[in-house]
Chains A and B, each alone.
Chain A
Amino acid sequence: DAGVIQSPRHEVTEMGQEVTLRCKPISGHDYLFWYRQTMMRGLELLIYFNNNVPIDDSGMPEDRFSAKMPNASFSTLKIQPSEPRDSAVYFCASSTRQRPYEQYFGPGTRLTVT
């Protein structure tokens, strides 16, 4: 298996633009997690899905952030409009129902908003 795949790996955009981050979890995994990592705040859970259904989105910072999982093999995290303080590395992770806490992380998307 190729592991968790994220795209793009790097994204530079101007303030006010819409940004869409993509994730393909490991095939057969039931859970999908979106995290954000910054130097100041460390790694924070934004939202997670179980069988494509959002379970907890309390970590989503504000309404500018939204996440979808239309099917078991694809998820998006969208920021609209983007702001400089959204600059961070965004990670996607997935895990199985049998071992939900053994999360496999993708390589991350480094987002820079100027």
Chain B
Amino acid sequence: KQEVTQIPAALSVPEGENLVLNCSFTDSAIYNLQWFRQDPGKGLTSLLLIQSSQREQTSGRLNASLDKSSGRSTLYIAASQPGDSATYLCAALMNRDDKIIFGKGTRLHILP
């Protein structure tokens, strides 16, 4: 059974710093890996999607990487801003049954 884990559960970082959020998964038979952002009281917003054949995707200050062999993905945020404060979730889409498995998220707080 696929398990998606995000550690730490919460993170506080001073504004302007670069940071990395981690996502690990136990079953490497994934179709893709997505990173989402969730603001308090809101739904999820898709940030980046990495296909299993890709190694990374970039959007603005965000860069997501994928290493299937080690079962890891990272989300790199450059020059963090207070507006980046949110919960970030990763989700793996499984090959065998098209099920999407979410991590529980990392709650990020950027200190002004």
Contact = CB atoms under 8 A, between A and B. Distances in A.
B104 A42 contact: yes
Contacts of A56: 97-99
Interface stretch (A60-68, A72-80, A102-110): A102-110
Contacts, number: 42
B93 interface: yes
Given A101-B32, A101-B49, A42 B105 contact: yes
B34 A4 contact: no
Interface size class of B (residues with CB under 8 A): 20 to 34
Contacts of B91: 43
Contacts of A58: 99
Interface size class of A (residues with CB under 8 A): 10 to 19
A102 B102 contact: no
Given A42-B102, A45-B99, A101-B49, A107 B89 contact: no
Interface of B: 32, 34, 41-46, 49, 89, 91, 93, 97-100, 102-105
Interface of A: 4, 42-45, 56, 58, 91, 93, 101-108
